[in-house]
Chain A
């Protein structure tokens, strides 16, 4: 990608991914996309809590709700909850849906039918949207993980969001 295209980002040449007769516009991780990811993570956390409300006393549920409302930073893009979420199948589907700007159903189908391509595109889009130094460090860790060495990245062997 030229420096011009990179600097202009989505205003230059959006990446189009075609599958099953449909074109998907894969978005770079802009500030707006980051907020979409954070809203999605927040929604998942509230849904989890709501689903478990029957198993806890009302006051504990209220307390957990209040705690969730205060812990806004836990939903941050590339924060701990992000990595925990994208390490799951449903998390991967959710991330693909956001980056490919499509529905979860279509994202799931993409993941099932074009796993390697989608994985590569999600990783590359994520890395290309990061500041260079951080992306270079991520790539280094990814290479280490793929080489079979200890990645040194806690429980996340693969530092890039899998798809």
Chain B
């Protein structure tokens, strides 16, 4: 979610080319397309799960995903960490995963 660094971009592109995409093809994809299609959740057998969301808010996030989103977005918007922690603890009182 946050702007990836150079190493992360290289790793992402490597994974996509492993799946048969060319660099030209990747260049024409949005982050959402990559997220939805190429990193669609898989079953234990490796088959794509048949989950289709009509709206952004339809996809339930796990708590870990929710935390990652909050942090990524906070970093992009330069929100102070204290504010992010307060927002998290307001929603999940007593939960402080950054301490573990």
Contact = CB atoms under 8 A, between A and B. Distances in A.
Contacts of B35: 131-132
Contacts, number: 101
B57 to A, nearest CB: 5
Interface string A132-159: 1111111101000000000011111001
Interface in B25-73: 26-33, 35-37, 52-54, 56-57, 59, 61, 65-66, 69-70, 72-73
Interface string A98-138: 00000000000000000000000000000011111111111
B27 A159 contact: no
B78 A77 contact: no
Contacts of A79: 3, 76
A40 interface: no
A83 B77 contact: yes
Nearest to B12: A31
Contacts of A133: 1, 56, 59, 61, 65-66, 69
Most A CB atoms within 10 A — which of B33, B37, B52, B77? Answer: B77
B80 A154 contact: yes
A76 interface: yes
B77 A132 contact: no
Q: Give the interface residue-count category, chain B.
A: 35 or more
Interface string B7-36: 000000000000000000011111111011
A29 B31 contact: yes
A30 B30 contact: yes
Nearest to A32: B27
B83 interface: yes
Contact of B53 (A80, A132, A138, A155): A132
B78 A80 contact: yes
Interface of B: 1-6, 26-33, 35-37, 52-54, 56-57, 59, 61, 65-66, 69-70, 72-73, 76-80, 83, 87
Most buried by A among B3, B26, B27, B36: B3
A49 B29 CA distance: 33
A83 B32 contact: no
Given A73-B3, A78-B3, A131-B1, A137 B73 contact: yes
Interface stretch (A7-15, A61-69, A89-97): A7-15
